[in-house]
Amino acid sequence: MIAINTTFPIIDRLQSSPVDRDDILTLLTATGALQEELFRRARDMRHTHCGDLVHLRGVIEISNYCQKSCSYCAIRAPNKELDRYRMSAEEILDIAGQIHNTGIRIIFIQAGQDPKCDEILETVIPKIKQQFNTEVLLCLGERSKETYRHFRDLGADSYILKYETSDPVLYEMTALTPLKNRLDCARSIKQVGMKLGVGNIIGLPGQNFESLADDILLGYELEPDFVSASPFIANEHTPYEDSPAGDFNVTLNTMAINRLMHKTCLLPTVSALEKIYPHGQLMGLNAGANVITINFTPSSRRENYAIYSSHRFIVSRDHALHIIQQAGLKAEIFQ
């Protein structure tokens, strides 16, 4: 029998400062005993700094209009094959009530970059806070600092703005806009007093491991409250529709590295993991994640919110509770 070294100083060094980029590069491709230890340490870090609760978010995808033309996303403005929708305030509030009634206390409002939603949110955000006393999480794209401040004043608690990639050239090829604009927006979100969520995509066409290591370092530099890693999934009616999916194991390794570097951050196990690999979200929990987003968008709307292809995996409450139990964790449910 081969003796396994269980010390792995390369993992220990992730918790030192500054973090060594070469260590991250090695761990991104970890397999076997090194990967098992990486995941074990990530779970221990979560237990020590976050406990064993998994936070549940209920997402409402309120609009699939978008100003941007990102090459990986089917809700991109040039896609003429998509039936567009924008929910009313009444529809959003009705779904928010459904989320609240399940015991979930984070209402996640997501849309393409659609400024026409802002007037609707003038009504929605204060009423959610008044009627349900829940946390409001937004993911609405790039806005001015003044708009972010206004969202906060309305009652929004946090905002997700993933940077997708830290490589300015690759970002501009993918999003067709400058990375600097994206990062300026992320910093504005923190400056106005909302919690910030960031993250990257693993497997974008043209990406390499050096770029992925820099993604992790950029996330560390931004000091976010949430950090995610999502595998690339080819989407119909986009320039990248024939590209291969992102590597599942590299995504899990990125999640575990993020857990060890950020310690207390909320770290989601995203639905895209389940899309590309059976039991993928459970494996995300076993790599250090502690957040699951449950989809409450009505099916009539959901099929046109095509961010992970038209056949994306839809996370139900039962699915989330089942995998949380399988991972030996507890769901954060309020009665």
Q: pLDDT by residue (tens digit) across 68-84?
A: 999 999 999 999 989 99
In a domain, 16, yes or no: no
Q: What are phi and psi of 187, to 5 degrees?
A: -70, -35
How far is it, in rounded angstroms, from Cα 79 to Cα 293?
Answer: 26
Asked if the structure places residue 129 within a domain, the reply is yes
Is residue 27 a part of any domain in this protein?
Answer: no
Domain extent, residue 197, equals: 33-331
Whether 1 shows a pLDDT value over 70: the answer reads: no
The enclosing domain of 55 has a CATH number of 3.20.20.70
Name the percent of the chain lying above pLDDT 90: 90
The token pair at 98 is 């459904």
Among 47, 4, 10, 55, smallest CA distance to 257 is for: 10
Average pLDDT over residues 23-52: 97
Number of domains, the chain: 1
Segment 183-210 mean pLDDT: 98
- Residue 11: inside a domain, yes or no? no
Question: Is residue 309 in a domain?
Answer: yes
Is residue 14, in this structure, part of any structural domain at all?
no
Residue 4: band (very low, low, confident or very high) from pLDDT cuts 50, 70, 90? very low
51, 283 in Cβ contact below 8 A? no
The answer to whether residue 282 scores a pLDDT higher than 80 is: yes
The average confidence (pLDDT) of the chain is: 94
Q: Mean pLDDT, to the nearest integer, of 199-226?
A: 97
Owner of token pair 């305030």: 89
CA–CA dist 164, 146 (Å, integer): 24
Question: Residue 212 in contact with residue 164, Cβ under 8 Å?
Answer: no
In a domain, 305, yes or no: yes
pLDDT for position 335: 66
Q: Residues 112-169: pLDDT tens digits?
A: 999 999 999 999 999 999 999 999 999 999 999 999 999 999 999 999 999 999 999 9
Note the pLDDT of residue 18: 84
Of 58, 109, 104, nearest in space to 86 by CA? 109
As given in the structure block, the two tokens for residue 127 are 């009423």
> Average pLDDT for residues 193-215, to the nearest whole number?
97
pLDDT (tens digit per residue) in 294-334: 999 999 898 888 777 667 889 999 999 999 999 999 999 88
pLDDT value, residue 17: 79
Which residues are CB-neighbours of 51 under 8 A, at least 6 positions away? none
Is position 139 within any domain?
yes
Whether the per-residue pLDDT at 3 is higher than 70: the answer is: no
Q: Tokens representing 311?
A: 């056949």
